[in-house]
Amino acid sequence: MSIPTMPNDVILLIGQQSQSQADLHALVRTSRCFYLLLKHLLYQHNLNYHDGDGILQAAKLGSIPAVAQFIKEGYPVKDRPSHEGEHPQVSGFTIPSPCTCYMEHPILYAAEYGHTELVRYLLVSCPGPEEFKNNLGETPIHLAARSGSLSVIKALLNEGGAKVSMLDTNFTLAPIKEAAVNGHTHVVEYLLLDTLNKHDYASSLLPFAAASGNIALVSMLLDLGAQINHKYVERQAPRKALNSRGRGYESTALSVAVSYGDVTMVKHLLSHGADVNLQTGFRTPGRTPLYMALEKNDNEVGKVLLAHGADTDDEHVREAIYQRNKIALKMLLAKHKMYECPINLLDVAAATEDTEIFQILLDAGFNEEAALLEAINRGQEEIVTLLLAHGTDHDLPSLCKSAVGVVIANRDVGLMRVLLRYGAHAYPEDLEAARLFAPEHILKLAEKFPLHSRRKRDMYPGPFVAYNASQEGWLLVDQDWGSTRRRLW
């Protein structure tokens, strides 16, 4: 019997006995006759064995006929369907248990993908769009605002009776913020039409608009009276859009633009009066826009901020050193002079083991002796060599220490050879200590150092203290720290 002459009952029986969706699909594609007779079985099979997830794919594509067929075959469009299967077992966890989570509703997909006519069709069957939310609590209006589909929003409001919430939840932003962070100016403008105190809403939206990079949207909010330096304080879970790190995190439009590295937006905000030194983040301690740019190694944004009068301090310079950002370091040192730093940044640079950074700071005039001691304690031969070649006094007179004594105590053969090469002298007590405690190979090297003619206590009477019983404490006797070479020669 050929296919064209096969009775319809037989064709239906064949379709009903098919074990898989793939088998049904193959039959349907055999001929138009099979398609017309068996397509409803495909929908039924999807509903029975795949929880009707086919309707979600149809909603993504905006196919009204396919969605209508699913509804005709029994898809519970008026309810929020539950997923009754089991989640796959995950290695290391317990056996699969029945799933009680809710499935998505087709109106959510229709709204997200901007299929206005399908939304209107579903509104006829749905009790109300606000009744259907995904597992994050997002409504069709949330999704339409995110995708910028104004026609869908109007249909939901005017034909579905939906309400627009202006409040955030733990997992969702208000729809207007979803529109702002995605740069949909027309949606933001529409949702602001019926609001009171537009300037207050505009201010709270400004950091989200800055995250979108949409200059036109930011300008519109500023025209509505938004405060350029408004701080948005996160009250819910962290928002990736604003790079926040938890509840209580503060963001401004400028801080958000800097965190995204958006030079054009940064310039636009600064030209409208954004405070270049306003601290954001957690209140203790806050971070300036310049510090954020340094954290991201964003020299272009940093240059713009400095050109607009950003203040600098030693923490900014320290961050540039940690990031090994030589360009930023030079820009900062051009404005923030060495004498303004309460800490010796050469010590900080020693931790990076970056000789180029070290040379930049040496040229700026930072304390070399403290840096030499730090580099010796870290065993950094290259930096020690750089400092000695620069002329740093290896006797460390301002610290009342001896570089030779430190390397002997550290048993650092490599640095002992470096100091020998640069003519360092040992104090008598350094050699005495080596004879008492150092291994033989360290002692042999120590004995090669020329000896100072006087002991360290005699060379530096100032730093050695004496106990004064009348004042019940240790006192510095003298503060003449002097130069070793001056005292010796």
Question: Is residue 196 helix, strand or coil?
Answer: coil
Domain presence at residue 379: no
> Would you say the C-alpha torsion 291, 292, 295, 300 has a positive or negative sign?
negative
Same domain, 305 and 319: no
Beta bridge partners of 251: 232
Neighbouring C-alpha atoms within 13 Å toward the C-beta of 135: 8
pLDDT string in tens for the chain (489-residue length): 445 555 555 445 554 555 556 655 555 556 555 555 556 667 776 777 667 788 889 999 999 999 998 888 888 888 765 555 554 544 433 444 444 455 688 999 999 999 999 999 999 887 776 678 888 888 999 999 999 999 999 999 998 888 888 888 878 889 999 999 999 999 999 999 988 888 899 999 999 999 999 999 999 999 999 999 999 988 776 566 676 667 788 999 999 999 999 999 999 999 999 999 999 988 767 789 999 999 999 999 999 999 999 998 888 988 998 899 999 999 998 887 654 555 667 777 777 778 888 788 878 777 788 888 888 888 888 888 888 888 888 888 877 788 899 999 999 999 999 999 999 988 888 888 888 888 999 889 989 999 888 887 776 655 444 444 444 444 444 444 444 433 333
Domain presence at residue 31: yes
Question: Is residue 280 helix, strand or coil?
Answer: strand
Same domain, 39 and 146: yes
Domain presence at residue 322: yes
Domain presence at residue 356: yes
Cβ neighbours, 10 Å, residue 243: 17
* Residue 489: per-residue pLDDT: 30
Strands 250-251 and 232-233 turn out to be: antiparallel
Same domain, 302 and 341: no
Domain presence at residue 114: yes
Per 3-state DSSP, the chain is made up of helix, strand and coil in percentages (nearest 5) of 55, 5, 40
CA separation for the pair 238, 170 (Å, rounded): 9
Contact 404, 449 (CB under 8 A): yes
Cβ neighbours, 10 Å, residue 405: 20
CA separation for the pair 384, 373 (Å, rounded): 9
Same domain, 14 and 156: yes
Q: Burial of 324 by CB count in 10 Å (0-12 exposed, 13-18 middle, 19+ buried)?
A: middle
Same domain, 301 and 320: no
Same domain, 349 and 424: no
Tokens of 323: 């990031």
CA angle centred on 91, ends 89 and 97, rounded to 5°: 25
Question: Is residue 468 helix, strand or coil?
Answer: strand
Alpha helices in 74-139 (DSSP H): 106-112, 116-125
Give CA separation, 230 vs 1, 4, 91, 205, 292, in Å. Answer: 79, 74, 48, 9, 18
Domain presence at residue 472: no
Q: What is the CATH number of the domain that holds 145?
A: 1.25.40.20
Closest CA to 237 of 169, 174, 165, 139: 169
Domain presence at residue 146: yes
Same domain, 444 and 337: no
Residues 6+ apart with CB under 8 A from 225: 198, 199, 202, 203
Residue appearing with tokens 């597992």: 135
Cβ neighbours, 10 Å, residue 29: 10
Same domain, 50 and 137: yes
Residues 6+ apart with CB under 8 A from 280: 231, 250, 251, 252, 255, 286, 287, 289
Residues 6+ apart with CB under 8 A from 268: 215, 218, 219
Contact 183, 213 (CB under 8 A): yes
Query: Longest Cα pair distance anywhere in the chain, in angstroms?
Result: 124
Domain boundary among 262, 291, 309: 309
* Residue 254: per-residue pLDDT: 97
Same domain, 236 and 295: yes
Domain that holds residue 404: 388-456
* Residue 472: per-residue pLDDT: 46
Return the DSSP state at 9: H
Contact 320, 345 (CB under 8 A): no
Domain boundary among 309, 330, 355: 309
Same domain, 262 and 238: yes
Same domain, 301 and 406: no
Amino acid at 62: G
Domain boundary among 309, 344, 378: 309
Q: What is the number of residues in the chain?
A: 489
Tokens of 29: 């594609």
103 sits in which H/E element: none
Alpha helices in 297-367 (DSSP H): 299-307, 314-322, 326-335, 345-352, 355-364
* Residue 23: per-residue pLDDT: 58
Peptide bond into 76 cis (omega under 30): no
Same domain, 261 and 399: no
* Residue 470: per-residue pLDDT: 44
Domain presence at residue 264: yes
How many structural domains are present in the chain?
4
